[in-house]
Amino acid sequence: MGGLLEALDRALPPAELRLAYASLAGELFTLALPAMLVLPLLERNASFGNVLMASLLVAMPGFAATEIGTRAWLGGSHLADQTAQWQQSSAAVIAGYQRTPGMPADAIEAVRKVFAAVTNFLPAMSVSGVIVCFMLSILMFGRIRAWREYVRTREVSESAGVYLFRNFSLPEWLLFAFVISGLAPLATGLLQKVASNVLVVVLFLYLLQGLAIFRSLLAAIGINGMGLLFAFLLLGFLTFTAGVAPILLTIAGLFDSFFDFRKFRRKDDSNESHTD
C-alpha cells in the first residue's frame, strides 16, 4: 500500500494528487459513514424521505471535514481544486467549440455563461451527487430486502413498498430551508453563495419528489413496462426541447407539502392518513 501511494506521489502533480486524496476522504465521510449511521432507520422502516434527509444531514459535516482536512494536512483547498479542474475542463470544451466550423459566436458565448454560472454552484452539484447515491442505495436496499422476504416466505408484506420510489416524500420542515435560502438575493458575499447553493440543493430534492409523484400517478393508472419507459422518454424529450418539465416537476414536489398529489386530497382532510 505504501508503495502504491509513493507511486501516486511521483506520477501525479501536487494539485491532482491532493484532489485524489481529498476525493477518497470525501467518499468515506459523505457516503460510507452516513450509510452506516442511518442503517438503523432503514431497519425500522422509517419513511423514505426521512432516511434520505438523515443521510444528507450526516453527510454535511463530512463535506466540511474533507475541506478542513485538505487545508490542514494537504496544504490546499478541495473546493478550489475542484473549481480549477472544472474551469480547465470547461475551457477545453469552449476551445473545441471555437475550432468547430460554422459554430455561431452567440452559441459559444451562451455556453461560456452557463459554465461560468455552474462554477458558482459546484458545492451544490457535489451534494446533489451524494443525494443521488443515497437515493439509489435506499432503493436497492428496499428491493433486496423485499426479494429476500419473498424467497423466504413466498409473500410480500406492506413494508416491502416503503422504499419504492413512488413513495418518496420529503419531510415538511424542508420548507423552512427553501424559504430561508430563497432570500439569497438579499444577501451578499459568502452568505449569498452559501444560501444560493442551499437553494439549488433544496430545489433538486423537490425535483426528485416531483419525479416520485409522476411515477406514482403512472402506477395509479396502471402504466408499467414499455408504457413506463415511453412515459419517461417523453418526459426527457420535453426536458431537452422545451425545458419546462423540470420546472413543473419541482413545483409539484414543492406543493406536495400542502397537497398530497398521490391521493388527490388535501393533507388537512379529516380522512387523510398520510404519515410523512
| Half-sphere exposure at residue 230, Cβ-oriented, CA atoms within 13 angstroms | 5
End residue of a domain, out of 124, 145, 163: 163
Task: Give the Cα separation of 119 and 144 in Å (integer).
Answer: 38
Do 111 and 37 fall into the same domain?
A: yes
End residue of a domain, out of 163, 182, 203: 163
Whether 1 is in a domain gets the answer no
Task: Give the Cα separation of 94 and 86 in Å (integer).
Answer: 12
Do 55 and 39 fall into the same domain?
A: yes
Residue pair 262/217 in contact (Cβ under 8 Å)? The answer is yes
pLDDT at 54: 95
Domain count, the chain: 2
Task: Give the Cα separation of 51 and 260 in Å (integer).
Answer: 20
Do 150 and 209 fall into the same domain?
A: no
Quote the cell numbers at residue 60. 454535511
End residue of a domain, out of 135, 163, 191: 163
List, in order, residues 6 or more apart from 115 with CB less than 8 Å away. 86, 90, 93, 94
Query: What is the tens place of the pLDDT at every residue in 209-232?
Result: 999 999 998 888 888 888 888 888
Do 25 and 46 fall into the same domain?
A: yes
Query: What is the tens place of the pLDDT at every residue in 56-82?
Result: 999 999 999 998 988 888 777 888 888
Do 184 and 77 fall into the same domain?
A: no
Do 89 and 72 fall into the same domain?
A: yes
11: confidence class by pLDDT, cuts 50, 70, 90: low
130: confidence class by pLDDT, cuts 50, 70, 90: very high
| Half-sphere exposure at residue 95, Cβ-oriented, CA atoms within 13 angstroms | 6
Closest CA to 164 of 203, 216, 210: 216
Domain that holds residue 185: 170-276
Please provide residue 242's backbone torsions phi and psi, each rounded to the nearest 5 degrees: -95, -30
pLDDT at 129: 94
pLDDT at 10: 54
Res 264 pLDDT > 70: no
